Amino acid sequence: MTGASVPVHTLLPTTIVGSLPKPSWLAEPEVLWSPWALEGDALDEGKHDALRIAVHEQARRGIDIVSDGEQTRQHFVTTFIEHLSGVDFDKRETVRIRDRYDASVPTVVGEVRRERPVFVDDATFLRSTTDRPIKWALPGPMTMVDTLYDAHYKSREKLAWEFAVILNEEAKALEAVGVDIIQFDEPSFNVFFDEVKDWGVAALERAAEGLRAETAVHICYGYGITANNDWKATLGSQWRQYEESFPLLQRSSIDIVSLECQHSHVPMDLIELIRGKKVMLGAIDVANDAIETPDEVAGTLRRALAFVDADKLIPSTNCGMAPFPREVALQKLSALSAGAALVRSELS
């Protein structure tokens, strides 16, 4: 067991939203979605070793709710889809995703089905490595639809609904092996506002239906890649996109809402729109490799506490950290927990 000597905090428990950089022997570093550097049994073993390191570093650096750092997946959406039938990865189309950049994506050619568990073995392994609460991220239904070309259903809503059913099966299996928090990543919620209203939140709730584990939705402005940074530059001085989804999520069954905050132009008072929910607040910038100081993190958390009760605040990163040099990501973890510790000491 890892990290037994570092206490787990129930007040302001820290966590990471998504990925950590992978070791260079597993995949090319500082590149998103880089291919595996190993094959076969060596790859399986390498993924587990990387996951072990990710858990160890999180615990050692005071991260309370531990995740896999996405060490066993190449891409947060397509790795899940790869395990489903009905999607042809050799038949690729270039589509505009998130209404922002063109990407070559696989094609839905028939009924989509989950023939076997996707991440359950990896989650079982994660569970065996730590006593800390664990969180597992899955793509959300709308974001899955937006990362594919659909030649079968010809309806984003219909396909999202199919994915929601599949995600719910996977989420229940993850819960059964001891995952405490199931997180759905829905960056699309910051882009397709009409669809969020019409069916996006309903599909998300279907994916989370009947779970005893806590459920979270992560909505962000994306990794710090050029297409996203260019888009952010067009959003003006106040980023009010959350205004569209938050009132709907406030009325939904989802327990935790994860948002981007540090160095973003999201007005802090938008948190009031999710009153009653737990707030996973991004206090670490993932578009900038300057390490935050603990004071800077604490300042962000203090500003958030004007709008959310302390027992509902979960300090986190803004988004995934896969593209960072490893040392930068790890130092940012330390900054996050040091900042949370400062605020915790003021509260008790």
Name the site residues for Zn ion (rule: CB under 5 A): 220, 319
Give the shortest CB-76-to-Zn ion separation in angstroms: 8
Query: Of the two residues 271 and 319, which places its CB atom closer to Zn ion in the complex?
Result: 319
CB of 41 to Zn ion, least distance (A): 32
Q: From 62, 71, 70, select the one nearest 2 (Cα to Cα).
A: 62
**Of 186 and 214, which has the nearer Cβ to Zn ion?**
186
Unique residue bearing structure tokens 């400062």: 342
Name which of 47 and 98 has its Cβ closer to Zn ion. 98
Residue 144 or 319 having the CB closest to Zn ion:
319
Shortest distance in whole angstroms from residue 39 CB to Zn ion: 29
Alpha carbon of 246 to those of 139, 143, 254: distances in Å?
19, 17, 11
Backbone φ, ψ for residue 130 (5° rounding): -155, 150
Give buried/exposed letters for 6-39 (b at 16+ CB in 10 A, else e): bebbeebbbbbbbbbbbbeebbebeeebbeebee
Amino acid of residue 61: R
Q: Tell the smallest beta-carbon distance from residue 319 to Zn ion (Å).
A: 3
Q: How far is 293 from 9, CA to CA, in rounded Å? A: 20
Query: Residue 148 or 219: which CB sits closer to Zn ion?
Result: 219
Q: Which is nearer to Zn ion, 53 or 284 (CB)?
A: 284
| Separation CA 9–CA 153 (nearest Å) | 46
Rounded least distance, CB 18 to Zn ion, Å? 6
Q: Which two tokens stand for residue 183?
A: 């997180």
Q: At what angle do helices 294-304 and 326-347 cross, to 10 degrees?
A: 50
- Residue closer to Zn ion by CB (options 130, 300) is 300
- Least distance to Zn ion from the beta carbon of 2, Å? 26
Distance CA 271, CA 247 (A): 10
Judging by DSSP bridges, how do beta strands 149-150 and 181-185 pair with one another? unpaired
Which is closer to Zn ion, CB of 149 or CB of 221?
Answer: 221
Shortest distance, CB of residue 260 to Zn ion, whole angstroms?
A: 7
What single letter denotes the amino acid at residue 1?
A: M
CB of 317 to Zn ion, least distance (A): 9
Burial class from Cβ neighbours inside 10 Å (0-12, 13-18, 19+) for residue 343 reads buried
If phi > 0 it is left, if psi is from -120 to 50 it is alpha, else beta; for residue 83 that is alpha
